[in-house]
Structure 1
Amino acid sequence: MIPPTISALLAHAADHPFLCEHLSLDLEHDVPGAAAYAHFRDIRLESAYQPIFDVSMNGMQTLWSAPDSADRFGDELGFQALTLRADGAPFDPFDTVEDDRELVALDRLARTLHAINFFGAQRHGLLFLRVHERLLKSVKYDHGQHFSSVLVSFGLNPARVVIELPSAAVAHRTFLGYLTQSYQRHGFKVAGNLPNAGHIMSVSDMARLDFLKIDGAAVLRDAMAKPLMSYANRLRIPLIFDRVATETQFDALQQYGARFVQGPLFERHASTR
């Protein structure tokens, strides 16, 4: 099967009036592999990707000595999608949109944009997409159904997409179980953001998450790295340490046996766009 290109995926947007109206190919940069962008009101939205590295691989130490070869480590798990303005600044729709229905439409637009640029560029691994608590409350039932149907209509596999739930959802065991089952039923993998190490106790068989994520710096500050990883191993759920910003933090997490890491420390070793 021939991998889809960005322009080919954009052609599928013709079957979705809202997406067709707001998605375009960047013709200002006439180069192979030009990216798609979205236009919302007077704002241009673009995709960026933060790598999630598997540091259990042999030779990970070359990340520091040979940064030019570090891109291959990002292939092991995947990339976190980020929404940026044209000037490179992060775009937060919750600062811009008050109407919940318009916010849901904008969120669906951004997710589709990231999927087109991710799959159309033939990136490897998984695509991690964040979901805000306000969006979860705006959609009353069947979470994931709409986005799954869009991906399938584009010929894309929802199983390569990880829906990342906010910490507020993870803190409520029953709601977490419902959301996880709903998204997984529609083909997605699901990650849960832990507000702190203690909330891992909210994760149970009711919510068989595919990944857990937590602020790596906060875990180290609270001296919870070892017991947290021990409990995650008992649950058999991979744990991703986010927001790793310094080599000292990275080294400490490695000593405790951390496997997956992401954060500002690694951005200089891999292109985000």
Structure 2
Amino acid sequence: MTVAVTQFRDKLARQPYPATAMGKPHELGFDSDHQQVLGQFYGCRLVSTFQPIYALAGHHVVGYEAFIRSHHHELGGLSPWNLFALQAEDADLVRLDRLCRTVHTLNYFLTAEVPPLFLNVHSRLLLAVNENHGQAFRWVLDSLQIDPASIVLELPVIHANDFPLLAKVVTSYRHYGFKIALNIRQLPDALALAHLIHPDIIKLDSLHVATLADLPEVVATLQQLQIQVIATKVEQPAYLALIRQAGIGLAQGHHLGAPLPAPTLGAPVDVAVN
């Protein structure tokens, strides 16, 4: 893996546009003790973790969502929310967001091959980038010879009244070959955005929707539209039973599996899906 990271870092240094758009070569490193790619950003050490997404029928992993973990040399451990909140300038936030995705991609595809990989896009990036959403990240994937169709770009919770911005972003990401997932908390938004955007995947927040009487009807409609549905934040066995009853077959959450360090990807994972 060290060779691959070094080769990519050298290639990054020779390309003026991606070097500006994706971060600087010295912001990528490799921790040989823990066998993982690292990011360095204004005093923060960035590492990847990956939470499994399960097919409840068959009890097997069908993909992972990446999360960044950071440690600041003065502030200590920072949550992802606090890490991004520290970036007052849009340009810094964009660079951090893209650096995180690069670190995740290097760790994931150089350690295991269980696509798709779900990567979050920060909400401020949607406005901070004027056009060509996904162009810089597509350059990274092309450099690593990774099919963009193996990446699901996961967009933040957004309401149907933000449709013009969302439509523009989704159109651009699809132009560069990425799949799209939308995070949803309110069931009416799920139906509205399914018809307006038709994402590949809708992720429903179990904490908000698991107990709603109309959840099975909404799930059936989404499936008729050939949109995959994933229940997120499955933290309790009771939620798992409810989403099963609603017809949802894919799920993630701490009850099923906590985020894993990069070196453990591909290892057998026990899951309590009953």
TM-score (norm 1): 0.84
Q: Deviations over 1:246-270 (max 9, x none)?
A: 11111221122211100111225x7
CA RMSD of aligned residues (A): 2.0
Partner of 2:46: 45
Q: Deviations over 1:138-167 (max 9, x none)?
A: 001111111111210122221111111112
**Ranges of 4+ aligned residues in structure 1 off by more than 4 Å:** 86-89
Q: Secondary structure at the match of 2:146?
A: coil
Which runs of 5 or more structure 1 residues have no equivalent in the other structure?
Answer: 61-72
Q: How far apart, CA to CA, are the structure 1 residues paired with 2:234 and 2:250?
A: 11
After superposition, the Cα gap between the structure-2 partners of 1:221 and 1:137, relative to the gap in structure 1 and judged at 3 Å, is same
Partner of 2:87: 97
Q: Secondary structure at the match of 1:258?
A: coil
Q: Cα offset for 1:132?
A: 1.7
- 1:11 has 2:7 as partner: yes
Larger deviation, residues 170-179 vs 152-161: 170-179
Q: Cα offset for 1:89?
A: 5.4
Q: Deviations over 1:183-208 (max 9, x none)?
A: 01101101011131110232255523
Amino acid at match of 1:12: F
Aligned residue among 210, 232, 250 for 1:220: 210
- Confirm or deny: 8 A CA contact 1:161 1:188 kept in the other structure: yes
Q: How far apart, CA to CA, are the structure 1 residues paired with 2:161 and 2:180?
A: 15
Partner of 1:65: none
Q: Percent identity?
A: 28
- Confirm or deny: 8 A CA contact 1:169 1:175 kept in the other structure: no
Q: Cα offset for 1:174?
A: 3.0
Amino acid at match of 1:53: Y
Partner of 2:266: none
Partner of 2:132: 142
Q: Which has the higher strand share?
A: 2
Q: Secondary structure at the match of 1:143?
A: coil
TM-score (norm 2): 0.83
Q: Secondary structure at the match of 1:203?
A: helix
Aligned residue among 20, 25, 36 for 1:20: 25
After superposition, the Cα gap between the structure-2 partners of 1:90 and 1:193, relative to the gap in structure 1 and judged at 3 Å, is same
Which runs of 5 or more structure 2 residues have no equivalent in the other structure?
Answer: 14-22, 263-274
After superposition, the Cα gap between the structure-2 partners of 1:169 and 1:190, relative to the gap in structure 1 and judged at 3 Å, is farther
Q: Secondary structure at the match of 1:168?
A: coil
Counting matched residue pairs gives 248
Q: How far apart, CA to CA, are the structure 2 residues paired with 1:6 and 1:216?
A: 39
Larger deviation, residues 171-180 vs 148-157: 171-180
Amino acid at match of 1:85: S
Partner of 1:81: 66
Q: Cα offset for 1:225?
A: 2.0
Q: How far apart, CA to CA, are the structure 1 residues paired with 2:98 and 2:49?
A: 16
- 1:211 has 2:204 as partner: no
